[in-house]
Structure 1
């Protein structure tokens, strides 16, 4: 089962801190409290991932709200897997990840995003970085059935 990485929880916390700042420097919004509890337990237990299944409902909802602000796919419309490459030169995903992307859970997608971002070798991070920026700023299209 996929896990939600601590850096994604940190990003979600920062998202909510900006969206719902503390009125007095002490009080936290419910979304922040929920995420902070998960974060604190992860730090205490020295874990860098929390299982997506079993994630506390309020924390998962807060994380999902942040997740929805992120680009869904790393695709930049240059897919070398369609030409037989095992890993796409454009986005960095492996062939099976490109094929199965629609059925991946949010945590699975974020795991792939983390790996390709850390490697930073795909064209989306260098040669065609401007395409990635344009795609990220474009409004999300509704899911197609």
Structure 2
């Protein structure tokens, strides 16, 4: 998975925004990375992508929080295994 500084910045903006409509993380680069199990464009899992339209604002903000974490881990050089483990909720 490539580093996603734009997604990390967008995740911070969503977290700081007042209540209201939460934008989709989709950037129209829809390819799942087999090593991490995350979309190469938006850093979401397939389950998060599938559930997006049914999530309330709190659920969507939680997905954005995870995206921000994943982007930071990847940018910090933690590698795909750590990002994949975190995406799956596993401990390192």
Q: Using structure 1 for the length normalisation, give the TM-score.
A: 0.34
Give the match for residue 30 of structure 1: none
CA positional deviation for 1:108: 0.7
Structure 1 runs (4+) greater than 4 angstroms displaced: none
- For residues 20-99 of structure 1, the aligned pairs below 5 Å read 63-64=18-19, 67-68=20-21, 70=22, 72-81=23-32, 86-99=37-50
RMSD across aligned C-alpha pairs, in angstroms?
2.8
In terms of fraction of residues, the more strand-rich structure is 1
Pair member with larger Rg: 1
Q: 1:26-73: per-residue Cα shift (whole Å, max 9, x none)?
A: xxxxxxxxxxxxxxxxxxxxxxxxxxxxxxxxxxxxx53xx33x5x11
The count of aligned residue pairs is 59
Q: Distance in 1 between matches of 2:59 and 2:51?
A: 11
Q: Distance in 2 between matches of 1:109 and 1:116?
A: 11
Q: Distance in 1 between matches of 2:70 and 2:48?
A: 16
CA positional deviation for 1:86: 2.7
